[in-house]
Amino acid sequence: MLDRFGREIEYIRVSVTDRCNLRCTYCMPEEGVPPVPHAEILTFDEIERFCRIAAGLGISRIKLTGGEPLVRRGLPVLIGKLKRIPGVKQVTLTTNGTLLKEQIGSLTAAGLDAVNISLDTLDEERYRQVTRGGILDHVLEGLDAALAYPGLPVKINCVPLEDGTEEDLLRLAGLAEDRPVDVRFIEMMPIGSGKESAGKSGKDIREMLERRFGQPEPYEKPLGNGPAEYVQFAGFQGRIGFISAISHKFCRTCNRLRLTAEGLLKPCLQYGDGADIKALIRGGGTDAQIEDAVSQSVLSKPACHRFGETDAGRSRRPEDGAANDGGTDSPGFEERGMSRIGG
Ligand code: SAM
Ligand code: SF4
């Protein structure tokens, strides 16, 4: 599917739950967020139906996310269902890794194609603080368990916090030296609790890594679903990636939609609007009506996000010009936290 700006939309992030067993400071408030009632969350059959229709329109890669996707029981069943959909080339997962060791066998048996593990520090105490109670060893065991499957691509996603130490981030990057794993540094986005958190820029991280590991080679081959820029340091088994959504907008190459656990189809991370797929499915909507909602969503993708702009609250779509600027009927910015959107 092509959108109004000629971008090919072929990737979707599907959140399977709003629940999480951690409370990362930049993602969720300490007390958590009021859980969406179970009855309001899409069932596996509903997700499968939606993905089958979306795949018919050209969506070929699906990332399962959350909340924490591994707290939803029976995830391998969903992976199996999605893998059997004609046109779906890849089903991957992003997880905090704490429950991965126990589940990686059944996930890969169901056909999981790759896994991303979120890990922001290698310091046990700091991990406990940042996640408000997480146990670092559980994640490292999950990482090693995933790496025991030689054909399974594994990536680490790190959101470097402003007050993190250089030594800690260098050790984290060093995981790519010792192991066949790509380590990506993601800039903090002002969504949910992220509005009150400060991260480090991709540029600062890169300079820090170059001071320690020398000048890297650019790595041009595509890796994964998205906008990361990769480099290869000499002697490293894995690559280092940078996802710099704030300092280097990559909206021109945006290829994605998002489906929340409640069934809202979001054209862009920053804006709160979307198509109510759950209402369509539960209201007896036909496949053609759902197809239409997906196509409309693609056509309503804005040119770019406006994170970091001082007047960003005024206009939904800068390219639409003054007519839409600040109108009270303009759909507003996203108020849900990242755990409800799926990252
Ligand atoms: N619980 C899973 C996990 O942590 O991987 C999946 C959901 S989580 C919302 C997906 C990703 O979003 C994680 O890598 C997390 O670090 C990232 N994330 C959460 N809040 C963020 C923010 N404000 N800015 C940038 N990334 C954020
Ligand atoms: Fe949970 Fe992932 Fe958010 Fe951390 S980043 S609180 S693990 S959803």
Confidence at 309, pLDDT banded by 50, 70, 90: low
Instruction: Say which residues have a Cβ less than 8 Å from residue 47's Cβ, sequence separation at least 6.
Output: 14, 16, 78, 81, 82, 259
Distance from the CA of 285 to the center of ligand 1, in angstroms?
32
The answer to whether residues 302 and 222 touch, using CB atoms and an 8 Å cutoff, is no
User: What is the residue with the minimal CA distance to atom 1 of ligand 1?
Assistant: 68
Mean of pLDDT values over 277-284: 98
Distance from the CA of 67 to the center of ligand 2, in angstroms?
6
* pLDDT confidence of residue 153: 97
Q: Using alpha carbons only, give the angle 262, 333, 188 rounded to the nearest 5 degrees.
A: 90
Write down the pTM of the prediction: 0.92
Distance from the CA of 20 to the center of ligand 2, in angstroms?
6
Q: Using alpha carbons only, give the angle 313, 5, 339 rounded to the nearest 5 degrees.
A: 50
* pLDDT confidence of residue 315: 39
Distance from the CA of 338 to the center of ligand 1, in angstroms?
6
Mean of pLDDT values over 193-202: 92
Confidence at 314, pLDDT banded by 50, 70, 90: very low
Q: Which ligand is nearest to the CA of 69?
A: 1
pLDDT exceeds 60 at position 251: yes
Q: Which atom of ligand 2 is nearest to the CA of 134?
A: 7
Residue with tokens 């050790």: 171
Distance from the CA of 94 to the center of ligand 1, in angstroms?
9
User: What is the residue with the minimal CA distance to atom 17 of ligand 1?
Assistant: 343
Distance from the CA of 227 to the center of ligand 2, in angstroms?
21
Distance from the CA of 289 to the center of ligand 1, in angstroms?
32
Compute the distance between CA of residue 51 and CA of residue 121 in angstroms, rounded to an integer: 34
Mean pLDDT rounded to a whole number for the chain: 91
User: What is the residue with the minimal CA distance to atom 2 of ligand 1?
Assistant: 95
* pLDDT confidence of residue 326: 32
Distance from the CA of 96 to the center of ligand 2, in angstroms?
7
Which residue type sits at 112? L
Pocket of ligand 1 (CB under 6 A): 20, 26-27, 65-66, 68, 94-96, 118, 157, 159, 186, 188-189, 191, 194, 338-339, 342-343
Mean of pLDDT values over 248-262: 92
* pLDDT confidence of residue 97: 98
Confidence at 14, pLDDT banded by 50, 70, 90: very high
Q: Which atom of ligand 1 is nearest to the CA of 194?
A: 23
At 43-95, the pLDDT tens digits run: 999 999 999 999 999 999 999 999 999 999 999 999 999 999 999 999 999 99
User: What is the residue with the minimal CA distance to atom 5 of ligand 1?
Assistant: 95
* Phi, psi dihedral angles at 25 (to 5 degrees): -60, -35
pLDDT exceeds 80 at position 332: no
User: What is the residue with the minimal CA distance to atom 12 of ligand 1?
Assistant: 343
Confidence at 313, pLDDT banded by 50, 70, 90: very low
User: What is the residue with the minimal CA distance to atom 10 of ligand 1?
Assistant: 343
Compute the distance between CA of residue 116 and CA of residue 152 in angstroms, rounded to an integer: 10
Pocket of ligand 2 (CB under 6 A): 20, 22-24, 27-28, 66-68, 96, 118, 338-339
* Residue 234: both structure tokens together: 């000499």
Q: Which atom of ligand 2 is nearest to the CA of 20?
A: 1
At 228-238, the pLDDT tens digits run: 999 999 999 99
The answer to whether residues 341 and 257 touch, using CB atoms and an 8 Å cutoff, is no
* pLDDT confidence of residue 333: 78
At 100-146, the pLDDT tens digits run: 999 999 999 999 999 999 999 999 999 999 999 999 999 999 999 99
Distance from the CA of 298 to the center of ligand 1, in angstroms?
23
